[in-house]
Amino acid sequence: MKLLAQLSTILLTTLLVTVLPVEAQTRALLPRTGLTPDDLAVLVNDADPLSRQIGSYYQQARRIPTANMIHLRFQPGSSSLTQDEFLQLKAVIDRGTPAHVQAYAVAWSSPYRVGCMSLTSALAFGYDESYCSAKCGPTAASPYFNSPSLHPADDHKMRPAMMLAGTAFEQVKALIDRGIASDHTFPAGRAYLLSTPDKARSVRALYFEQTRKELAGVFPIEILETEAIADRQDVLFYFTGLADVPKLQTLGFLPGALADHLTSAGGQLTDSSQMSSLRWLEAGATASYGTVVEPCNHPQKFPFPGIAMFHYALGASAIEAYWKSVAWPGEGVFVGEPLARPFAPLLREISPGRFELRIFSPRAGQLRIERSHSAAGPFKPSRQSPLRRGANLLHFRFNETTGGYLRLQWN
């Protein structure tokens, strides 16, 4: 399997128009790069006071449409659902999910498992034991792995899910606030890829040099052979392999940070014998991942750092970037704030008729500005500018009253 086989060809191939929040202008049309609040349904367990509190706050904070709030009722407290229990809930979820919804946010920490599957994968694929291991073997592959899709439900007949998880409301509120604070911020953080003394859990290190080569000039990447990092205040990505990661309390995670540790039971969120993936969120990360049953150390069952980082750089949300980075996600649970989009493009009018566009790109390319008298087109080329890897800041003039419509595209 090639780690980054599709990276040079998937850069924003689907150019559906979206309008960015607040600063964006209705006559300057940007490509869609990631999920929006309208694309997300939120699952709430009305029998769980913490779930109700999380769901209510998230709806308000992210302005989730009321029609996208799906209310369930089941006894809280158990870490796992049986197949029959899940199928009953899934029937309610399916009936309540608007057709346009592309993904789920889950407003609780337990249950996190359904039989041999994680809850997030069972929600995405339905309960299907082909996504579970037999004697440490492979599982069914995700059609969403490294996909250019911007509409997973439409393109792959699946809705990826992520859990708004935490042991107290204050923790989850801080997580949500970090995700929102990260949007369009283009954080100048670093990626830390660790090969630890635990070689069985450091199998992803085989791909680290290739990741650094592929993303040179996009993110600063440190590849370290050490047990853990400490006293770093610029952590945007942290991928490692240990049963328990020390010194997390000394780190400064930037809003939008992704971090996880390859180990057997990190996804057992509330009752693991190893370090729970929740510890990453408590330390300041915005999303994480862990497995809920013994996966053995197949790297395909864990995030490929380079793929997660690449899709994040495209402007994808945390749920999209993380899900696309796992080839066999059936046993793994995704946790965090799903809509965090630190590298989503930002367009704003900085003075009358003068616009500023911030783009982050994992590849060198071209920005094309096209003009039309109508929003329906036809659009004709107006201007072209080069894009470099990483952050780009571009300025152009446009009279929104008399200039018609602009369409901005890049590759």
At 152-176, the pLDDT tens digits run 999 999 999 999 999 999 999 999 9
- Both tokens of 202, joined, read 């450091």
- Both tokens of 285, joined, read 């990360």
The dihedrals phi and psi of 312, each to the nearest 5 degrees, come to: -60, -40
**Is the pLDDT reported for residue 32 higher than 60?**
yes
Backbone dihedral region of 20: left (phi > 0), alpha (psi from -120 to 50 degrees) or beta?
beta
Residue 390, strand partner residues: 361
Confidence bin at 5 (pLDDT 50/70/90): very low
- d(CA 291, CA 276) in angstroms, rounded, equals 10
The predicted pLDDT at position 10 comes to: 37
Instruction: Look up the pTM and report it.
Output: 0.93
Give the neighbor-by-neighbor strand order of the sheet with 103-106: 69-72, 40-45, 103-106, 161-163, 332-336, 287-291, 253-261, 235-240, 190-195, 221-225
- d(CA 103, CA 150) in angstroms, rounded, equals 11
Residue 392, strand partner residues: 359
- Per cent of the chain over pLDDT 90 is 87
308, containing H or E segment:
helix 305-313
The dotted CATH code for 17-32+345-410 is 2.60.40.1920
Average pLDDT in the 202-210 region? 98
Domain boundaries, the chain: 17-32+345-410, 37-336
